[in-house]
């Protein structure tokens, strides 16, 4: 069975209450529930992790090799600062979808640069919580499961 790690970074534990005008009112638990339902219908296993700490995210990426077939990563603001996360992705050689709830290209200029994009299979941004469903579809298509 195809297995996907959905990895969420800093401040995503606050979804639903943090800047709902930017990130929406859907909680991380709501997103996980919707993803589980979708994945079950597709015959895909999901594992979820969230951390506010860069090193924990890097450890999760490392641990994914051999356990998961791909990663959906919403690294939050670390997208724009963490060469270490980019290096971790490059090291494990797993397909990664970079995901953002908001359209990072329509926001502050510092959010336009992604260190993850050069090593990602693709990037999904601006579709709110629905982006997670799109990312599952994208990885499933990559694995030929559609």
Tens of pLDDT, residues 42-55:
999 999 999 999 99
Task: Name the residue range of residue 79's domain.
Answer: 2-142
Active site residue 23: yes
For position 128, which CATH number holds? 3.40.50.9100
Active-site entry in 53, 100, 112, 142:
100
For residues 110 and 80, give the distance between their C-alpha atoms in angstroms, rounded to a whole number.
Answer: 7
pLDDT digits (tens, 9 = 90+) for 27-75: 999 999 999 999 998 999 999 999 999 999 999 999 999 999 999 999 9
What is the number of structural domains in the chain?
1
pLDDT of 46: 97
Q: For the purposes of burial, counting CB atoms within 10 Å of the CB of 4, is it exposed (0-12), middle (13-18) or buried (19 or more)? A: buried
Give pTM, 2 decimals.
0.93
Nearest to 116 by CA among 138, 99, 139: 99
Active site residue 100: yes
Q: What is the average pLDDT value for the chain, to the nearest integer? A: 93
């Amino acid at each position: 069975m195809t297995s996907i790690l959905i990895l969420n970074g800093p401040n995503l534990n606050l979804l639903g209450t943090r800047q709902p005008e930017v990130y929406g009112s859907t909680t991380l638990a709501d997103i996980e529930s919707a993803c589980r339902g979708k994945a079950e219908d597709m015959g895909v296993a999901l594992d979820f992790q969230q951390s506010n700490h860069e090193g924990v995210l890097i450890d999760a990426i490392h641990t994914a090799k051999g356990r998961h077939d791909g990663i959906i990563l919403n690294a939050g603001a670390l997208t724009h600062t963490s060469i270490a996360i980019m290096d971790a992705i490059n090291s494990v050689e797993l397909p990664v979808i970079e995901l953002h709830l908001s359209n990072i290209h329509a926001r502050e200029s510092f959010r336009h640069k992604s260190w993850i994009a050069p090593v990602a299979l693709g990037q999904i941004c601006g579709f709110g919580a629905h982006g997670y469903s799109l990312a599952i579809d994208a990885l499933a298509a990559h694995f030929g499961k559609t």
